[in-house]
Amino acid sequence: MIPIIPISASAPNKQRKRQFAKGRQTDVAALQQIQELLGQASRQKDLLIEHLHKINDHFGHLPVTHLVALAQEMRLAQAEVFEVASFYHHFEIRTEEAVEDSRLRLRVCDSLSCEMAGANQLIEKLGLHFADKNLKIEPVPCIGRCEQAPAACLEQNELPFASIATVEAAMQNAIITPQLNDDRIAHLDFDNYQAQGGYQILQDCMQGKIDKESLFKLMEDSGLRGLGGAGFPAGRKWRLVAAEAAPRLMAVNIDEGEPGTFKDRTYLEKNPHQFLEGMLIAAWVVGISEIYIYLRDEYHACRQILEAELNQLRRSTLMQNQPRIHLRRGAGAYICGEESAMIESIEGKRGLPRLRPPYVAQVGLFGRPTLEHNFETLYWVTTLIQKGAQWFTSEGRNGRTGVRSFSVSGRVKKPGVHLAPAGISLTELINEFAGGMLVGHELYAYLPGGASGGILPASLAHVPLDFDTLQPYGCFIGSAAIIVLSQHDSAVMAARNTMAFFKHESCGQCTPCRAGTARALEIIEKEVWDIPLLEDLSQVMRDASICGLGQAAPNPVDCVIKYFPHELIKNQGAQT
C-alpha cells in the first residue's frame, strides 16, 4: 500500500501565476478605436447590434481585434459578442490574416421575382463585365424591391437596377459620394403633414376629446387584423396588452423580409408620419412606456427618412408626455420578421424564436408585456378614426370585408402596391389594378402569400384573396405578396427558389427546420422527386418546427405535388 503523504498548509504554492487572462487579448489600439466609434453612446447590452453596425459601417467588415475590444468595452463575454455577430448575414467577421477586399459590393437579389426577371443571367454577365474593375457581384436574398426586379443594392445604398450602364454610373458616384439617398425619395415631411391636419387626432386624444374605450371599440368593430401575416385582430390585441401590468412596451415590425413583399417600404417612403401618428395613438390607448421600431437593414433610404422625421417630431411640442421612441436596425435575418425573434434581436441577441407560451403580450421585450404590431396595421389607425369602422367594413368583395395592400410582382404590366378590396380574386386584381398580364404572357400560376404562402394554378385564380380563404387549398395570404407566373415559368422552379431561400434563412435553432429545408432542397433539385420522402419530411417540419418558417417552408413543394404533377411527370419522362 502506498502511503498518503499530507501536504503542509504552509507549503509554498509553486503554480505559476497567469500573466494574462485566457482567450484573445484586447488590443489597445483597437479598444481606443472602439471607444471613439461608440462615443457617448450607452454601453448597455441591448445596443450590441447597433454598435456592431457602427464597426461594420466604418471598416466594411468586423475585425476580430475590434470584436474583442467591443466585448471588453461593453463588459460582455467574447463568446456572446461573436455568436451575435456571426448570426446576422450583413456582418462579416475577418481575422487579421484575412486578405483585405476593398472592392465595392453590388448585391443582386436572386429571389423568385428577380430570378424570373433574369437575375441569374445578369449576375453572370455583370461578373464578367466588372471582372477587372473595383466591383464585387454578390447574389443575395430578397431586398424588398420586387416591383423593380431585378433589384440590387450597392454597398450601403439602395439602387434600383436597370442596366449595366446604370450600375457603372452608380459605382462611380458611390466612390465619390457614398450616400446617394438623401434627396432621392420625396416623402410627406413633418411640416407638410401637419399642414394637412396631421397629428390633430393625437392631440385630441391627449386633450381628452377622444376617450380610450371608443378607440378600443372602433378597432374591434372595424375587424382590422394584423397585416404582417398572422392576421390577429388588432383591437383584441390592444385590450389584451392594456390589461397587463405596467410598464408596457411596444415593438413595431418593419422587417418585411418575405420575398414578394414591399408594401411597408412603399408606404414608409411616401408618408412616414401617418404611421408615426397611428403608432403614438396606439401607444396612448394601451398605455405604452417606450416604443422600439425594428427596421430591416436593406431599407437604407427609409432609415434616413425615419431618423430625420423622428428628429423633427421630437423637437415639437407633440412629444411632451409621449413614450420614448427607439429606432433599431436589423442586420439581414429573415427570421427576425417573426415577432419573438425580432424581440430577441432588439435585446441585442441572436434572432432565435422563443417557445410559447408565454406570449409576447404577457412576457415580451425585456420581460415586459409588449404590443407587437406590423407597420401597415398602425398605418391605417388614423384613417379608421377619420372614416369610422363602417367605412372599412363596407369595403370588400366575395363576402369579405375591408381593404388589403397587395404587393404584386412578376409577369404583370403594373407591378407595385395596389390597395384593393379584401376578397378580390387574382383575376380581378390583375385586370383591374395591375394592368393585365405582360404581352406574350398568360397566367399559369401564382404565389398568394410570398415564398411561404404556397403556389396555386391559374384554374384557382377565382379564389378570394383574404385571411382564411386559402387554407382549404393548402395556402395562405400572409402579408399579401402576390407573385404572378406565366407559361414561361414553372412551379418547380419557384419551389426550388423558395426552398433555397428558406434553407439560407433558417436560424438553425431546431432540427426539423435546419435539416429539413436542406434535405428538401437536395431532393427537389433532382429531376425525379422522391414524393413519399418529401411528404414525410413535410409533415415532420410542420409538426415539430418551433416557428412559422419551418412550418410553412414545405408549402410550395406540397403545392407542386398537388397542383402541378404534370411538371414532375414531364421531368421524369425527360430523365427516362
CA count, 13 A, side-chain hemisphere, 324: 4
Please write down the HEC assignment for all residues of 149-191.
CCCEEECCEEECCCCHHHHHHHHHHHHHCCCCCCCCCCCCCHH
- The SS3 call for residue 535 is helix
Q: Give per-residue pLDDT as tens, 330-347.
A: 999 999 999 999 999 999
- Give the C-alpha distances (Å, rounded to integers) separating 497 from 111, 129, 134, 389, 524: 7, 25, 29, 40, 10
Higher pLDDT, 176 or 377: 377
- 221, pLDDT greater than 70: yes
Mean pLDDT of the chain: 91
Number of residues written out for the chain: 576
- Give the C-alpha distances (Å, rounded to integers) separating 300 from 181, 182, 303: 8, 10, 5
Q: Are 165 and 171 in contact (CB under 8 A)?
A: no
d(C-alpha 371, C-alpha 339), whole Å:
10
pLDDT attached to residue 574:
56
- 173, pLDDT greater than 80: no
- 157, pLDDT greater than 80: no
Whose grid coordinates read 453596425? 53
Higher pLDDT, 177 or 18: 18
153-167, 240-254, 481-495: which has the minimum mean pLDDT?
A: 153-167
Task: Annotate 92-105 with DSSP letters as a single string.
Answer: -EE-TTSPP---EE
Tell me phi and psi for residue 457, to 5 degrees: -80, 165
pLDDT attached to residue 75:
97
d(C-alpha 181, C-alpha 165), whole Å:
19
State the CB neighbour count (10 A cutoff) for residue 454.
30
Higher pLDDT, 80 or 230: 80
pLDDT interval class at 323 (50, 70, 90): very high
pLDDT attached to residue 140:
92
pLDDT attached to residue 181:
39
- 176, pLDDT greater than 60: no
- 247, pLDDT greater than 80: yes
Spell out the alpha helix ranges (H) of 488-564.
491-505, 511-524, 531-544, 548-552, 555-563
3-state helix, strand, coil in the chain (%, to 5): 45, 15, 40
Q: Which helix (H) or strand (E) holds 295?
A: strand 288-295
pLDDT interval class at 98 (50, 70, 90): low
pLDDT interval class at 156 (50, 70, 90): low
Locate 283 and state its grid cell. Answer: 401607444
- 409, pLDDT greater than 80: yes
pLDDT attached to residue 166:
62
110-119, 125-134, 167-176, 186-195: which has the minimum mean pLDDT?
A: 167-176
pLDDT attached to residue 183:
41
155-159, 181-185, 375-379: which has the minimum mean pLDDT?
A: 181-185
Model pTM score: 0.92
92-106, 139-153, 160-174: which has the minimum mean pLDDT?
A: 160-174
pLDDT interval class at 175 (50, 70, 90): very low
Whose grid coordinates read 383591437? 235
Locate 325 and state its grid cell. Answer: 421612441
pLDDT interval class at 165 (50, 70, 90): low
d(C-alpha 370, C-alpha 240), whole Å:
10
pLDDT interval class at 542 (50, 70, 90): very high
- 463, pLDDT greater than 70: yes
Identify the burial level of 80 via C-beta atoms within 10 angstroms of its C-beta, where 0-12 means exposed, 13-18 middle and 19 or more buried: middle
- 144, pLDDT greater than 70: yes
d(C-alpha 554, C-alpha 543), whole Å:
12
Q: Are 202 and 280 in contact (CB under 8 A)?
A: yes
Report the C-alpha dihedral over residues 59, 64, 69, 74, rounded to 10 degrees: 90
User: What one-letter code names the amino acid at 517?
Assistant: T
d(C-alpha 208, C-alpha 515), whole Å:
55
d(C-alpha 217, C-alpha 274), whole Å:
21
d(C-alpha 397, C-alpha 464), whole Å:
8
